[in-house]
């Protein structure tokens, strides 16, 4: 019997590995699709043609980066089949015109951007619909206290807000991208870009990273390989935000993030307790969203992903949150109600 050459053996093993990889990749993609009902998990990274939007958000570069913060790229997008628009200034908001009334700017992460809801269903937009003043949504996915401080002090204040609403805290505790990704060396930038490209292209790699990330930090995130110190600078950044607003004569209100009762909120609520003490010392309004929010939740599902999302809200949840904030504003600030 003729002996098979080493080259043919190697080729056979290579072909077998490729077939095995393809089978695993197909299985993982189908599993992701079955879980999230999002066709992008089947087609990534291939671009699809949309009748109403330009690109699926999760597999395209959709951020513009600045010193210490980033913004969405202007355009039309989809998130899990939900369309949304980013204005020319990089915010999930209608085009911002010249100031003509009392102006409020909302800061936060993805829970303020509200990508699980359509444009008219975010809590900043619903807050605006409930009142006579202008509300601008400057929430950005992944934003933490550092990002918010930099956006506020380098750009947002130029929009002349009379009041800012701060709805953040969890990202400093869990998946702080801004401090985790320290790309101060060329090789770090190279490996991060390579890792990020593979993460959004090969779904089996995505699955492995998410599982390792869950073990390491109890939260899936593509930036898990980069060092960070959760919450180490939150209080400093929060006080710097208050100092800056005092200097610019901008009102500040901190709003407690709500969290799904199905998930552990111990760290978040502890942080909010510390923030409340600071607000009392500095005479800053602190809005408690509990227990009113959970009392309203008995009637409808307020958390995304069929009630399983730990913190992102449905349109109904956004409406309930906006109603609570609106009522609190009417009690504490008559000027807001009058739209002065």
Q: Which residues contact 164 (CB under 8 A, 6 or more apart)?
A: 104, 105, 106, 107, 152, 156, 245, 250, 251, 252, 253
Please give the model's pTM, rounded to 2 decimal places: 0.72
Sheet with 82-86: strands ordered across: 55-56, 75-79, 82-86
Angle at 39 between CA 33 and CA 45, to 5 degrees: 105
**How buried is 195 (Cβ within 10 angstroms: 0-12 exposed, 13-18 middle, 19+ buried)?**
middle
- Kindly list the domain boundaries of the chain, sorted by start residue: 6-36, 55-176+229-338, 183-217
Write down the pLDDT at residue 306. 83
Per-residue tokens: 48: 């699809």
Residues in the chain: 340
- The per-residue pLDDT for 243 is 97
Are 234 and 266 a contacting pair, CB within 8 Å?
Answer: no
Ranges under pLDDT 50 in the chain = 48-61, 176-181, 227-230, 336-340
Cis bond before residue 45 (omega within 30° of 0): yes
**pLDDT for the residue 23:** 95
- pLDDT 10s digits, 88-116: 999 999 999 999 899 999 999 999 999 99
Class of domain 55-176+229-338: alpha beta
Q: Distance from CA of residue 138 to its chain's centroid?
A: 11
Supply the pLDDT for residue 264.
Answer: 80
According to DSSP H, which parts of the chain are helical? 6-36, 40-43, 110-113, 123-129, 145-154, 170-173, 177-180, 186-199, 203-217, 234-248, 266-281, 292-296, 304-307, 315-332, 334-338
How many other C-beta atoms are found inside a 10 Å radius of the C-beta of residue 242? 19
At residue 5, the pLDDT reads: 82
């Amino acid at each position: 019997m003729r002996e098979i050459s080493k080259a043919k053996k190697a080729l056979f093993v290579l072909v077998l590995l490729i077939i095995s990889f393809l089978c695993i990749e197909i299985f993982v993609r189908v599993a992701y699709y079955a879980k999230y009902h999002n066709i992008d998990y089947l087609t990534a990274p291939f671009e699809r043609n949309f009748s109403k939007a330009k690109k699926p958000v999760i597999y395209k570069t959709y951020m513009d980066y600045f010193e210490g913060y980033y913004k969405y790229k202007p355009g039309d997008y989809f998130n899990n089949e939900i369309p949304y628009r980013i204005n020319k200034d990089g915010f999930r908001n209608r085009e911002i015109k010249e100031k003509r009334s009392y102006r409020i700017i909302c800061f936060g992460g993805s829970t303020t951007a509200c990508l699980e809801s359509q444009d008219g269903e975010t809590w900043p937009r619903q807050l605006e619909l409930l009142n006579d003043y202008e509300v601008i949504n400057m929430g950005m996915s992944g934003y933490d206290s550092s990002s918010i401080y930099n956006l506020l002090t380098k750009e947002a204040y130029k929009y002349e807000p009379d009041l800012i609403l701060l709805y953040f805290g969890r990202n400093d505790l869990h998946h702080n991208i801004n401090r985790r990704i320290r790309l101060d060396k060329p090789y770090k930038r190279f490996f991060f870009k390579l890792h990020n490209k593979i993460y959004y292209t090969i779904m089996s790699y995505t699955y492995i990273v998410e599982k390792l990330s869950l073990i390491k930090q109890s939260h899936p995130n593509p930036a898990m390989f980069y060092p960070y110190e959760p919450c180490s600078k939150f209080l400093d950044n929060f006080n710097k935000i208050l100092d800056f607003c005092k200097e610019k004569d901008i009102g500040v209100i901190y709003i407690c993030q709500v969290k799904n009762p199905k998930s552990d909120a111990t760290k978040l609520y502890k942080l909010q307790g510390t923030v409340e003490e600071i607000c009392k010392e500095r005479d800053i309004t602190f809005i408690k969203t509990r227990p009113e929010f959970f009392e309203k939740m008995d009637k409808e599902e307020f958390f995304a992903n069929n009630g399983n999302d730990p913190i992102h809200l449905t349109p109904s949840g956004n409406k309930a949150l906006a109603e609570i904030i609106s009522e609190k504003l009417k009690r504490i600030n008559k000027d807001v109600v009058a739209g002065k």
